Amino acid sequence: MSADQHDRGLSGVNRRNFVATAGAAAFATMAPLRAEPQSSTADCAASTHQLTGNGVWTYRIVEDWGKLPAGVTFGGTHGAITQDQSGHIYISTQSDTGVLVYGSDGVLIRTIAKEFPEIHSMVHAVEAGDEYFYATVQKGTAQANWLFIKMKTDGTVVQRITAPREAGFNAPNEWRLTAAVPGPDGSIFIANGYGDSRIFRFDRNGQYLASYGGKGKTDGLFDCSHGLAVDHRYEQPLLLVCDRENRRLCHFDFDGKFVGTVIQHLRRPCQVSFFGDYAVVSELEGRVVILDKDNSPVAFLGDNALKAQWANYDVDPRAITSASFSAAHGCFVDASGNIYVSDWNRTGRITKLARVRV
């Protein structure tokens, strides 16, 4: 399907699904892990490096990136990854460790947001020259679980949104939100992925405006609206939804209208990050997939051959090969094409994949 067909959001959907299925079948025959680089470069000088991917989408695993100093633990990695303008990498945890802040070299600089032990999603935004993270919190204080927060890069909270009574909730903690993004006009979109799967729209001041979707399998509905992203790859920006248990990605406009199914038959997509015209998607069943502008797969990364490890929260990270994922959850791609992934894991597992120049 051409990008023009996609922009019209009409006749291309059936062919898109065919392309996605055919692409998945074709790439399924590819070895996800190779022992040698295609060429000798500074990016892969040693043949002992663990590699994953294919062609221009070949990556090496950066061993021990993000290793914690003595006395600091992840406490679980059921969260997200993002980056600020200075290049620091932020990774959320499931403990009072809070959000880990790393230099690009993988050395821990500091931690922030310790009062929020389980931040599930984080999206970086720059507004009037100031940097913020739009984040969803699953665990905070007894009075402030399951809330949206907008915070500065030092963890200072400047805005909070709890479950809106106008949408049928009776208490602040009643929704089970999973993702939040700022829309092009400054409005805020929040997904109740672990609840009724609706997506809620608020104005920039946190006033409730509308809700869309809900639980189901037909067009416009979701079975766990797990991840949200603003997709700028086309003539107009679109809201991209990771419809996890329906194993698909969907596009909506910012008035809540269903535009089309982007791709089907994924392995429980969790989050999306963009690199130019390409989308990097973490999949809970042991894989990361890269999609082109037509949303066809061009590479699979870290494809785990051990199905017993897929979506296994309790697997020992030491039992997972370094070039594989068990439950890819958080993902982020930086401006150089390097990819950071956090597995959904009880004791915590993060991986940096450095792009190899071939």
Full set of structural domains in the chain with CATH: 3-355 (2.120.10.30)
pLDDT in single tens digits along all 358 residues of the chain: 434 444 434 333 333 443 334 344 333 333 333 333 333 333 433 344 799 999 999 999 999 999 998 888 899 999 999 999 999 999 999 998 999 999 999 999 999 999 999 999 999 999 999 999 999 999 987 777 999 999 999 999 999 999 999 999 999 899 999 999 999 999 999 999 999 999 999 999 999 999 999 999 999 999 999 999 999 999 999 999 999 999 999 999 999 999 999 999 999 999 999 999 999 999 999 999 999 999 999 999 999 999 999 999 999 999 999 999 999 999 999 999 999 999 999 999 999 999 998 7
d(CA 244, CA 267): 8
Task: For residue 145, count other CB atoms closer than 10 A to its CB.
Answer: 17
pLDDT computed for residue 215 by the predictor: 98
pLDDT computed for residue 82 by the predictor: 98
pLDDT computed for residue 253 by the predictor: 98
pLDDT computed for residue 205 by the predictor: 98
CB 124 within 8 A of CB 91: no
pLDDT computed for residue 16 by the predictor: 41
pLDDT computed for residue 42 by the predictor: 37
pLDDT computed for residue 71 by the predictor: 86
